[in-house]
Chains A and B, each alone.
Chain A
């Protein structure tokens, strides 16, 4: 069971075998996707027809649309990027104000509020999506009927997608940032006050630098969760599709290996993001 206890050889071998099988299970789909991005065939399926970069570089002259020639796909990556930036900014700012509110503030109903802040995490994404869709439409209808205002951002489209994703990603940012603020040593702030620093100066030079790892970490998580969100986005999306929705649509139709190419691009991008985060937190938290 544990290293200090005798373990029979069959158990050791069994454990090792199990781990290998588990890792194969984990990585098989990803490796398959990556490999077939380079297959010289019209569909991402065996047999292997030889190596090609067409699914990245292909253009009309080659009668194949590669990733870098596929305007629609590139556009959807850009859409996802814009949405993710907006969600990240909103979530980190609100996450920070929430963290200060919950860790420093004293007010009536704090306990109830802290439970409410966790609620978005246990509501299925599809339901967050439809409830925000229905509510935004009702507000838009009321405003239209009473004031004659036509507010497009309340109709399905990217602003609603941002709000929908933000509604639960903010809860995650709040948790991450609160956890670090809780461990903050308040005497550091008091020392700064005693030395004559003003409130904004203390916040800017003492507290926020301390929170930096949590701010960066929650920004990365928010960006990634927004970029990869599917359920909530599906319900709120308008004419411009973010990448996940675009890929889903094409996967249902049976797409060319250009989807493998864009997937490989995503894998590399998230690996870079993950590694840079690990390097950052590595030396300090080990």
Chain B
């Protein structure tokens, strides 16, 4: 345990004993499976149990408009969902960090966390009961005379976005609150005394200070949204066209693991490059961002 006491061999034995489970975990469950996935994506089946190395799987992806349309669509929807989440979460985080005092702020924070202790399945079930044609909100709309007959609110792109934003809010609120809490109020007061208005203070003081939190929140939300499966498929139905669904279809339904592996790698590449881009744009280190969330 202790690297300052005890003979050298004992120290080395300790490090070795602690290193073994860590390496076993990282190599057996993370590194080697991904290497294997990469190898899988670069092969093609020519006959039963006969494989050759090729880029056929990736060629299929780029050659078949359906696949890359869904890929681009998933990416665009994830970006929209991340931006919406940020816009909705920011005022709430501001209220918790700056406006609500003492116990009220803590209480508000805890209240915001509660829904996220509940499974995503349960939350999605709630949205389905609320939005489906025979559900609560269409009924209320008819009752208010806004629509003549119940309208189907499920299975639209907007529905998917509502579900995705809802699921992501917590991962945005938490890093935003922690980065806003560290902002000294006297800076805002000083800016105000020097003639700043709400907008200029927000742009020149608040956002630069909160940027680490904003980046952390956006990275995590984007990644989780991109990799989400449950919300798009249940709220979007057959028209959801989410890329993770394609991966599932190739892997589990069609048993075409080579194609599924290539899709998986493309999604991983997109996710990783967005994380990298977010870090570059905000000039932060990966490990700092992850500790924040």
Contacts and interface: CB of A to CB of B under 8 A. Distances in A.
A43 B134 contact: yes
A30 B118 contact: yes
A189 interface: yes
Contacts of A243: 121
A200 to B, nearest CB: 10
A97 B26 CA distance: 14
Interface stretch (A51-59, A62-70, A111-119): A111-119
Q: How large is the interface on B (under 10, 10 to 19, 20 to 34, 35 or more residues)?
A: 35 or more
Contacts of B139: 46-47
Interface string A187-211: 0010001000001000100010000
B125 A260 contact: yes
A235 B252 contact: yes
A19 B1 CA distance: 49
Interface in B6-24: 6, 14-15, 18-19, 21-22
B207 interface: no
Could you say which of A1, A244, A263, A274 has the most chain B C-beta atoms within 10 Å of its C-beta?
A: A1
15 contacts: A4-B185, A19-B92, A27-B115, A29-B166, A45-B132, A46-B134, A97-B22, A117-B26, A118-B287, A170-B25, A175-B291, A189-B2, A199-B1, A199-B2, A248-B121
Contacts of B26: 113, 116-117, 119
For the residues of B in contact with A, the DSSP-based class is helix
Contact of A124 (B115, B124, B219, B268): B268
Interface in B77-125: 88, 91-92, 95, 98-99, 101, 108, 110-115, 117-125
A15 interface: yes
A133 to B, nearest CB: 7
B257 interface: yes
Contacts, number: 259
A219 B177 CA distance: 25
Contacts of A134: 33, 36-37, 40, 257, 261
A146 B108 CA distance: 60
B160 interface: no
Contacts of B286: 115, 118
Interface stretch (B54-62, B63-71, B224-232): B224-232
A166 interface: yes
A223 to B, nearest CB: 11
Contact of B127 (A29, A124, A128, A260): A29
A161 to B, nearest CB: 13
Contacts of A247: 121-122, 125
Interface of B: 1-3, 5-6, 14-15, 18-19, 21-22, 25-26, 29-34, 36-37, 40, 88, 91-92, 95, 98-99, 101, 108, 110-115, 117-130, 132, 134-136, 139, 166, 169, 185, 188-189, 192, 198, 201-202, 219, 223-224, 226-230, 234, 244, 247-248, 251-252, 257, 260-261, 264, 267-268, 271-272, 275, 286-287, 290-291
Contact of B95 (A19, A203, A231): A19
B230 A270 contact: no
Q: How large is the interface on A (under 10, 10 to 19, 20 to 34, 35 or more residues)?
A: 35 or more
Contacts of B21: 93-94, 97-98
Contacts of B120: 228, 230, 244
A83 B176 CA distance: 33
A117 B29 contact: no
